[in-house]
Amino acid sequence: MACKLVILFFFVNLLMQIPKVRATIPAIIVFGDSTVDPGNNNQVSTVLKSNFEPYGRDYYGGQPTGRFSNGRIATDFISEALRIKPAIPAYLDPKYDIEDFATGVSFASAGTGYDNATSDVLSVIPFWKELEYYKEYQNKLRKYLGKDEANQRFSESLHLISIGTNDFLENYYILPTRSSEYSVDEYQSFLIGIASNFIRELYKLGARKVVIGGLPPMGCLPLERTTNMFFGSDCIDEYNDVAKDFNKKLQGAVTELKQKLGGIHLVMSNPYDKLMEMIRNPSHFGFEDAETACCGTGFFEMSYLCDNMNPFTCSDANKYVFWDAFHPTEKTNAILADYVVKTTLAEFR
């Protein structure tokens, strides 16, 4: 009982510290991968799903939703900080309609990437298709709110993009095609070009407030540490260096786009340093383990390998930085969201 009270106090205290960004943002619209997918993959013919226990065991009602976490994901906490709603629905979830989506919606798909070849690996929604869903959503919202009000909402809404890790860990470093076509540097530039074009398309569709996320220290994900077990299961420095280099290029692209797209409020959110801080000094944030995940053995399980039949899953996810071998716990998501609101989103106040 005492442990539950401590956990409850932590979350209440954390949420109270998140500064509130007032009415300038009426909705949050999300694109990306599993870091921000609240359940779109539930409606897709893919093996990459998480709509079963123990996923979601700490979500409202203890229900798995398709979020790759034990509870809420970062965009849910950001939405709450914007005083919009405590969770962002998945666009393909039949439980929701345009009334729900009017104040926030996610088109994200776990396993996808900037590169179309990445989405092909596990047959998930490609990045370009997320944009097509957004266009469809725009038409629905215009019918619901009226053309003028809907267009104003598009310009005032926060468009958030979180994607890119899968392009390297699921595609470039695993499959031979892209690595034979591009050097790492060239592949980074290839992806940056896709990101830039995506933002230009959003701009043409009326988006004026856009946040694009950089890559995390992907060499420190539990799954990558496991592949490095013969070298002490340390973080893979090469992957982390690639993430840092990519983030520098992405920031350069953001700067260039801001100069070319008049009236756009475009910023980059960089999760690298904050997550690395948690990994290097977990006890400072109240964690006990930043190397292995809570689910299963913590070395390699995710999706169907992280199911309710696995006897090794931890009892308290709040002690862990990572929920499964690839994704953060709800507590980590809350801390990252708090960081984004206090830094990146401060510019939108």
φ, ψ dihedrals at 83, nearest 5°: 60, 35
Q: In which band, very low, low, confident or very high, does the pLDDT at 348 lie, cut at 50, 70 and 90?
A: confident
CA–CA distance from 1 to each of 8, 15, 88 (Å)? Answer: 11, 21, 30
Q: Which long-range contacts (CB under 8 A, 24 or more apart) does 130-136 make?
A: 130/31, 130/32, 131/31, 131/107, 131/198, 131/201, 131/202, 133/91, 133/92, 133/107, 134/29, 134/31, 134/107, 134/202, 134/205, 135/205
For the stretch 51-110, pLDDT in tens is 999 999 999 999 999 999 999 999 999 999 999 999 999 999 999 999 999 999 999 999
Q: Which of 76, 119, 303, 327 is catalytic?
A: 327
Does domain 25-218+240-270+329-338 fall under CATH 3.40.50? My reply is yes
Q: Which of 33, 34, 37, 167 is catalytic?
A: 34
Residue-level pLDDT at 23? 46
Q: Which of 33, 37, 115, 324 is catalytic?
A: 324
For the stretch 27-49, pLDDT in tens is 999 999 999 999 999 999 999 99
CA–CA distance from 79 to each of 26, 64, 132, 150, 212 (Å)? Answer: 10, 19, 23, 19, 16
For 54-100, the DSSP string reads: TTTTTSGGG---S-SSSS--HHHHHHHHTTS-S-PPBTT-TT--HHH
∠106-108-112 over CA atoms, to 5°? 175
Q: Rounded to two decimals, what is the model's pTM?
A: 0.92
For 282-334, the DSSP string reads: GGGGT-SEEEEESSTTSSS--GGGSSTT-TT--S-GGGEEESSSSSB-HHHHH
**Residue 44's closest CA among 66, 73, 14?**
66
Q: Is 9 exposed, middle or buried (0-12, 13-18, 19+ CB in 10 A)?
A: exposed
CB 101 within 8 A of CB 137: yes
Q: Who has greater pLDDT, 349 or 326?
A: 326
User: Is 324 among the residues known to form the active site?
Assistant: yes
∠80-82-86 over CA atoms, to 5°? 15
Residue-level pLDDT at 8? 47
For the stretch 171-219, pLDDT in tens is 999 999 999 999 999 999 999 999 999 999 999 999 999 999 999 999 9
Mean pLDDT of the chain: 93
For the stretch 243-260, pLDDT in tens is 999 999 999 999 999 999
Residue-level pLDDT at 67? 98
∠147-153-159 over CA atoms, to 5°? 130
For the stretch 121-152, pLDDT in tens is 999 999 999 999 999 999 999 999 999 999 99
User: Is 34 among the residues known to form the active site?
Assistant: yes
Domain ranges of the chain: 25-218+240-270+329-338
Q: Is 129 exposed, middle or buried (0-12, 13-18, 19+ CB in 10 A)?
A: middle
